[in-house]
Structure 1
Amino acid sequence: MLDVITIGSATVDVFGVISQKFKEVRLGDKVLLEKVDFETGGGGINSAVALSRMGLKTAFLGKLGHDYNAFKILHELKKENVKVIKTKPSKEHTSYSFILKSEKEQDRIIFTHKGSSDHLSYGEFNKSELKTRWIYLATMLKGSFSTAEKIAGYAKKHNIKLMFNPSTYLAVKGKFHLRRILRAATIIVLNKSEAQFLLQTKSNKITDILKGLRKTGPEIAVVTEGEKGINAYDGENYYYLPAYKVKVVSTAGAGDAFASGFLAGILHKENIVQSLKIGMANAASVIQYYGTKNNLLTYKQAKKFIIRRKENVIVKESS
């Protein structure tokens, strides 16, 4: 049996770096790129590689095209010891992203063409391959969203635990649109703005947001706040972990690295406190470099990373 199957997009990412601040770039400008890198990425791929490096038996389920980018992705998954659940190649091109970073700013702009990732059909893969302890469900859109709903129902029926890590693309659709997945989820992980979109609330009070998320179905709600840190709620206690202070080069991939690290901790039978630290360690390692997977940690490396940190999880009992 597998430990985890990741389901989500598979892309080839182009990372470009400019020397100017974004606001200094005007319409019509020709801008020189200081650095360009090509890597595989996407929520399904980033999480699969991260979980495999954490020593877990991992498989990936997603839709690829019939092109060089698909070959590149499959080659990397094989190298990272990730099993691929077979699907029919799409007539659409494999998904593609361009991630633009400024040397003078920590944030980035991401341009994405979903392509093949939007066309995963529930009937095109063998359900016998879904024998796993956990499913990590990233963002799936259009036709693939319907498939994600059916997979969530399958997981609930067969007692497979589900982590849901929706991006803004899905969160803006609100909790009613996502209800079938939320009711099947054991854990939900997303950032604060995504949580506000999902709950359709303007409240900034993190305890209200965490309670609201848990009421939608998941047993554990986790909300990230970038450099402020991470918050979680399990119905009994609130948890807060300040962000580890590191030199930030690029924040691309931080969310995937954290969510994967947190789930890896849970799969390794760590408690919530330790799992939050493992997730934070993974994210802190990734953001010190360009690329979404360049410095993902193994389980042992994450544990060593934590030992060197002074930051501790603050636990507060729910009233």
Structure 2
Amino acid sequence: MSFDVVGFGALNVDKLYNVNKIAHEDEESYITGLSESCGGSAANTIVGLSRLGLNTGFIGKVASDREGTLLLKNLEDENVDTDGVILESDGRSGVVSGFVDRDGQRALYVDPGVNDLIEQDEVQTGYVTGSKVLHMASFVGKFEDKSIKAQKTFLKRIPDDISVSIDPGRLYAERGMDFLEKFLEKTNIILINEAELNLLTEEKYRGNYKGNKTCENGSKILLDYGIDIIAVKRGDKGVYVTDGCRSYFMDAFKVQCVDTTGAGDAFNAGFLYGLINGENIEKSALIGNFVASKCVEECGATDGLPDVYGIAGLVTGFK
């Protein structure tokens, strides 16, 4: 079986606590509600793409526990192929404890569990053969970087006709360009937020741009590494996208924000959907912003994600 998109990343059960405020050091706050859902950055994006009608699969790892059962069932219920998911007999599945305030802002604590225990020989190259896109997101890297090494090895093995997209997240971005360079050598599309871009390119800014940190300058640095398409996610300010020839600042849709969890992953889904369907980067960014706007209107990373009918008017109406 060949896929439109295969995801490779962490699988987590998100336990989201609604709080009156996010407590800082020596502060207290109180919990007003609790919800539980399935997540993981790459998994959220793949679920979004599946809802938009694309044929999807996933590579990851879960344990034989309650959370692992939930995660597998969720992917299956979302029509995501799970033949690439490795089942570990011992250990515990990944869990993220998130605290969301009244404005929808959040603080996350990650227990990676078996997510960080993927061995290089457990990931089969044949699973992605014939796929259009491989989409990767970060692992915590708590256990000797096993899963990160598995990702890097996998990138070396996959056919060159598969486009690679990556959302490095803060976990990979704060390790710097030297760490991410092996990923970038095979990456066609990078999906990154503004703060992560600044972290990732810090050393290059000092040498080339004298501290002038902008989306344009940060993207120029990444373009020098051979990246084809860059999307810089800017929260409620929208997104900056470039392919080195054309560049656009696209405003976010104005909606009532309930929870920002998964908003970046939702953008990734809409943006990749557009590209896979032959849209230019401007229209793809518009679709990404719309999918993200629907995400933040609901609690959790995937509850608000639209299906293909939900974006039909947007796709056909954009000139």
Q: Give the structure-2-normalised TM-score.
A: 0.90
Which residue number corresponds to residue 255 of structure 1? 264
Provide, for residues 73-120 of structure 1, a one-character-per-residue CA deviation record: whole Å limited to 9, x for no partner. 1111111110011424163310001110111x3311111111111111
**Counterparts in 2 of 1:247 and 1:121: CA distance versus 1, 3 Å:** same
Q: Distance in 2 between matches of 1:243 and 1:90?
A: 44
Check whether the contact 2:133–2:163 (CA below 8 A) recurs between aligned residues.
Answer: yes
Matched, 1:153 2:156: yes
8 Å CA contact retained: 2:58, 2:85: no
Matching residue of 1:143: 146
User: Match for residue 45 of structure 1?
Assistant: 43
Q: Does 1:34 align with 2:53?
A: no
Report SS of the residue matched to 1:111.
strand
Residues 162-206 of structure 1: per-residue CA shift (max 9 Å, x gap): 001111010011111111110101100100110111112443222
Return the match for 2:293 from 284, 295, 311: 284
Rounded Cα–Cα distance in structure 2 between residues aligned with 1:306 and 1:280 = 12
Give, in angstroms, the shift of residue 27 of structure 1: 3.2
SS at match of 1:209: helix
Map 1:55-70 → 2, pairs under 5 A: 55-70=53-68
Note closer, same or farther for the CA distance 1:4–1:17 as it changes in structure 2 (3 Å cut): same
Runs of 4+ in structure 1 over 4 Å off: 305-309
CA RMSD of aligned residues (A): 1.9
Alignment counterpart, residue 213 of structure 2, candidates 189, 204, 212: 204
User: What is residue 79 of structure 1 aligned with on the other side?
Assistant: 77
Is 1:221–1:232's contact at 8 Å kept on the other side of the alignment?
Answer: yes
Instruction: Encode CA deviations 1:104-145: one digit per residue, 9 max, x unaligned.
Output: x33111111111111111201332212211100111332111
Alignment correspondent of 1:10: 11
297, 313, 317: which one aligns with 1:304: 313
Cα distance, 1:214–1:90 mapped onto 2, change above 3 Å? farther
Question: Alignment partner for residue 223 of structure 2, among 197, 209, 214?
Answer: 214
Taking the aligned partners of 1:208 and 1:175, their CA distance within structure 2 comes to: 15
State the alpha-carbon separation in 2 of the partners of residues 52 and 197 from structure 1. Answer: 31
Deviation by residue 1:237-282 (Cα, 9 ceiling, x = unmatched): 1111011111111111000000111001111121211111111111
Unpaired stretches in structure 1, ≥5 consecutive residues: 313-319
Give the length in aligned residue pairs.
305
- Within the candidate set 105, 108, 117, 1:107 is matched to 105
Change over 3 Å in CA distance of 1:206–1:68 after alignment to 2: same
Letter in 2 for 1:4: V
TM-score calculated relative to the size of structure 1: 0.90
How many angstroms apart in 2 are the aligned matches of 1:286 and 1:28? 30
Task: Find the aligned partners of 1:294 and 1:47 in 2 and give their Cα distance.
Answer: 12
The separation in 2 between residues aligned to 1:259 and 1:144, in whole angstroms, is 22
CA distance in 2 between partners of 1:246 and 1:306 (Å): 19
Structure 2 matches for 1:167-246, cutoff 5 A? 167-200=169-202, 201=205, 202-246=211-255
- Structure 2 residues without counterparts, runs of 5 or longer: 206-210
Identity of aligned residues (%): 26
Deviations 1:33-79 (A, max 9, x none): 21110100011321121111111110010011111101001111111
Distance 1:33 1:302, change over 3 A: same
**C-alpha displacement at 1:28, in angstroms?**
7.1
Distance in 1 between residues matched to 2:224 and 2:246, nearest whole Å: 15
- Is contact 2:62–2:85 with CA below 8 Å preserved after alignment? no
Residue identity opposite 1:286 in structure 2: C
1:99 and 1:22 map into 2 onto residues whose CA distance is: 10
Instruction: Give me the whole-angstrom Cα distance separating, in 2, the residues matched to 1:127 and 1:306.
Output: 34
Aligned partners of 1:153 and 1:181 also within 8 Å: no
Aligned to 1:250, the other structure's residue is in SS state: coil
Aligned to 1:162: 164
Instruction: Give me the whole-angstrom Cα distance separating, in 2, the residues matched to 1:166 and 1:254.
Output: 15
Partner of 1:316: none
Alpha-carbon separation, structure 1, partners of 2:317 and 2:236: 19
Match of 1:317 in 2: none
